[in-house]
A and B are shown apart, each in its own frame.
Chain A
Amino acid sequence: MVQDGTNCRLRAEAISVAYPGRAVLENLSLDIPDSKVTAIVGPNACGKSTLLRALARLTPVTAGQVSLDGHPIDRQRSRVVARQLAILPQSPLAPEGLTVLDLVRRGRTPHQSALRQWSRADSEAVERALDLTGLNDMSSRMLATLSGGQRQRAWIAMALAQDTDLLLLDEPTTYLDLPHQIELLALVRQLNRDTGRTVAMVLHDINLAARFADHMVALKGGRVRYQGAPSEVVTAKMMQDIFALPCTVIADPIHGHPHVIPA
Chain B
Amino acid sequence: MQAFQFGPVSIPLHRRAVTMVLGLSFLVVLVALAALSLGSYPIDTAGLWQTLTGRADPIPAMIVLDHRLPRILTAIGAGAALGLAGAMVQTMLRNPLASPDIIGFTAGANAGALLAVLLTGGMILTGALTGGALAACAVIALAWRGGLDTQRLILVGIGASLSLGATADLLLSFTDENTAADMARWLTGTLHARGPADVALIWGGLALLAPATAWLGFPLGRMAFSDDIGVGLGLPMTRLRLAVTGLAIILVALAVSVAGPLPFVAFVSGPIARRLTRSGGPALAAAALTGATVTLGADLAARAIPVVRLPAGVFTAMIGAPVLVWLLWIEARKGRL
State the A residues within 8 Å of B (CB): 20, 53, 56-58, 77-83, 86-89, 92-99, 102, 105-107, 109-110, 112-119, 123, 162
Contacts and interface: CB of A to CB of B under 8 A. Distances in A.
Contacts of A123: 1
Kindly state the interface size class of chain B when it binds its partner: 20 to 34
Contacts of A89: 226, 228-229, 232
Contact of B236 (A78, A86, A87, A92): A78
Contact of B226 (A92, A110, A113, A117): A92
Closest 7 CB pairs of A and B: A82-B234, A79-B234, A110-B234, A114-B218, A109-B233, A89-B228, A98-B280
Nearest to B3: A118
B8 A93 contact: no
13 contacts: A56-B232, A78-B231, A87-B228, A89-B228, A92-B228, A94-B225, A97-B279, A106-B221, A109-B235, A112-B218, A114-B217, A116-B8, A119-B10
Interface residues of B, dominant DSSP: mixed
A115 B234 contact: no
Contact of B233 (A53, A94, A107): A107
A170 to B, nearest CB: 9
Contacts of B278: 97
Contacts of A116: 8-10
Contacts of B146: 20
A80 B234 contact: yes
Contacts of B274: 97
Contacts of A118: 1, 3, 10-12
Contacts of A115: 8-11
A93 B95 CA distance: 13
B228 to A, nearest CB: 4
Nearest to B277: A97
A95 B235 CA distance: 17
B232 A82 contact: yes
B225 A110 contact: no
Contacts, number: 92
Contacts of B215: 114
A152 to B, nearest CB: 14
A88 B274 CA distance: 26
A107 B8 CA distance: 21
B214 interface: yes
A95 B10 CA distance: 24
Interface string B276-297: 0011100000000000000000
B280 A83 contact: no
A117 B215 CA distance: 11
A25 B215 CA distance: 39
B11 A117 contact: yes
A97 B232 CA distance: 21
A106 B229 CA distance: 10
Contacts of A53: 228
B222 interface: yes
Interface string B147-168: 0000000000000000000000
A197 B221 CA distance: 28
Nearest to B282: A95
A204 to B, nearest CB: 20
B231 A106 contact: no
Given A80-B234, A82-B233, A106-B222, 20 more contacts: A20-B146, A77-B234, A78-B234, A78-B235, A79-B235, A81-B234, A83-B234, A87-B228, A89-B226, A94-B225, A97-B274, A98-B280, A106-B221, A109-B233, A110-B233, A114-B214, A114-B216, A117-B3, A118-B1, A162-B233
A167 to B, nearest CB: 11
Nearest to B146: A20
A209 B330 CA distance: 41
A118 to B, nearest CB: 5
Given A82-B233, A87-B232, A123-B1, A117 B225 contact: no
B312 interface: no
Contacts of A56: 232
Nearest to B225: A94
A106 B233 contact: yes
Contacts of B309: none
B68 to A, nearest CB: 37
Contacts of B228: 53, 58, 87, 89, 92
A95 B9 contact: no
B124 interface: no
Contacts of A106: 221-222, 225, 233
B231 A58 contact: yes
